[in-house]
């Protein structure tokens, strides 16, 4: 995937997230084996009401437990976490 493609996917995912009214509802830390404590953001699921997806900030990328991200798509949850990180002056790679 090229950086341009990833940037387009991020922008589209962020637009979908804002249109759906999604937002980060909680933050915390999660211990990741071999890495240590990592920041985690929780975002409500659109397809599973009542479920919160976890977006984990690893050293070089963001991961999400949603089906879209597991299938290789740039999900709305990661887009919101990326937006938050950029707003706090930390830039995550889009992939």
pLDDT in tens, 10-44: 999 999 999 999 999 999 999 999 999 999 999 99
Q: Is the pLDDT of residue 90 over 90?
A: no
| Phi and psi angles of residue 35, each rounded to the nearest 5 degrees, phi first | -120, -45
H helix runs in 1-95, sequence order: 3-19, 67-70, 76-87
> Structure pTM?
0.87
For residue 84, give every residue at least 6 positions away whose Cβ sits within 8 Å of its Cβ, in sequence order, or none: 24, 41
- Domain ranges in the chain are 3-87
Q: What average pLDDT does the structure give for the chain?
A: 91
The CA distance from 84 to 95, in Å, is 16
Q: Which pLDDT band, with edges at 50, 70 and 90, does 1 fall under?
A: low
pLDDT of residue 93: 57
């Amino acid at each position: 995937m090229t950086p341009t493609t990833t940037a387009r996917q991020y922008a589209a995912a962020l637009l979908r997230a804002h249109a759906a009214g999604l937002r980060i509802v909680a933050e915390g830390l999660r211990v990741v084996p071999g890495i240590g404590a990592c920041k985690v953001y929780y975002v409500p699921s659109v397809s599973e009401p009542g479920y919160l997806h976890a977006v984990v900030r690893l050293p070089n990328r963001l991961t999400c437990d949603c089906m879209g991200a597991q299938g290789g798509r740039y999900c709305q949850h990661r887009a919101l976490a990326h937006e938050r990180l950029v707003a706090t002056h930390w830039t995550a790679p889009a992939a």
